[in-house]
Structure 1
Amino acid sequence: MRLTSRLLRRLGRRRLADERGAVAVLVAVLLVPLLGFAAIAVDVASLYADREQLRNAADAAALAVATDCATGGCGNPTATATSALTANAGAADAAGATLRTPEVSVGGHSVTVTVSADQAHWFAPVLGIDSTRVTATATATWTAMSHGVAQFPLAISWCEYKKQIAKYPLTSTVSHRLDWELSWLTLCSGPSGGLTFGGGHALTGTDSSSVCRATSSVGQYIDISVWSSWLPNRCSAKHLDGLIGTDLQIPVWDDVDGWLFGGYRAHVYGYALFHLTGYELTYGEPTFYGYFTRAVVPLSATSPTGTTPAADLGATSISLSPQG
Structure 2
Amino acid sequence: MLLSFAAISIDVAKLYSERAQLQNGADAAALMVARACATAAPDGNCSSSPSDNVRTLVRGNAVDGLSNVHSVTVNGVAHTVDVTTSAEEAGSSPNSVSMFFAGILGVTSAEVRASSSVQWGTPVRGIMVLPLAVAECKFNLSRDSQAATEQILEFGSGCGRVPGGFGWVDGTGSQCGLTIGVGMESDATTWFSIDPGASPPTRCSATDLSKMNNQTVLLPLYDKAAGTGTNAGYFIKGFAAFHVTGYKFANDGWPTGSGFAQQEPARLLR
TM-score by length of 1: 0.60
Task: Indicate the residue corresponding to 1:144 in structure 2.
Answer: 122
Amino acid paired to 2:22 = L
Task: Determine the structure 2 residue equivalent to 1:308.
Answer: none
C-alpha displacement at 1:156, in angstroms? 1.7
Q: Are 1:201 and 2:177 an aligned pair?
A: no
Aligned equivalents of 1:115, 1:160: Cα separation in 2 = 44
Corresponding position of 1:111: 81
* Residue 224, structure 1, aligned to residue 197, structure 2: no
2:112 is paired with a residue whose SS is strand
Q: TM-score, normalised by structure 2?
A: 0.70
- Residue 276 of structure 1 pairs with residue 241 of structure 2: no
> Which residue pairs with 2:26 in the alignment?
58
Distance change (3 Å), C-alpha of 1:284 and 1:35 = closer
1:178 to 133, 153, 157: 153
The code of the aligned residue for 1:269 comes to K
Pair 1:212-2:176 in alignment? yes
Residues 260 and 79 (structure 1), Cα distance of their counterparts in 2 relative to 1, 3 Å cut: same
Separation in structure 1 between the aligned mates of residue 229 and residue 261 of structure 2, nearest angstrom = 29
Distance (Å, rounded) in 1 between the aligned partners of 2:6 and 2:199: 75
| Aligned-residue RMSD, C-alpha | 3.8
The whole-number CA distance in structure 2 between the counterparts of 1:218 and 1:37 is 57
| CA separation of 1:225 and 1:104: change in aligned 2, threshold 3 A | same
Cα deviation digits, residues 153-184 of structure 1 (max 9, x gap): 211223234xx325xx5434x44533476344
Larger RCO: Structure 1 or Structure 2 (Cα < 8 Å, ≥ 6 residues apart)? 1
Deviation at 1:255, TM superposition (A): 2.7
| Larger-Rg structure | 1
C-alpha separation between the residues in 2 aligned to 1:253 and 1:160?
Answer: 10
Partners of 2:135 and 2:166 within 8 A in 1 = yes
Q: Give SS of 1:138's match.
A: strand
Shift of 1:126: 7.3
Q: Deviations over 1:232-265 (max 9, x none)?
A: 34434444333211123211123333x3466112
Structure with the bigger percentage of helix? 1
What letter is aligned with 1:85? V
Cα drift, residue 148 of structure 1: 2.5
Q: Which runs of 5+ in 1 are unaligned?
A: 1-30, 187-197, 295-312, 316-324
SS in structure 2 at match of 1:144: coil
Q: % of aligned pairs identical?
A: 32
Tell me which amino acid in the other structure corresponds to 2:19: R
SS at match of 2:120: strand
Instruction: Give 3-state SS (helix, strand or coil) of 1:82's partner.
Output: helix
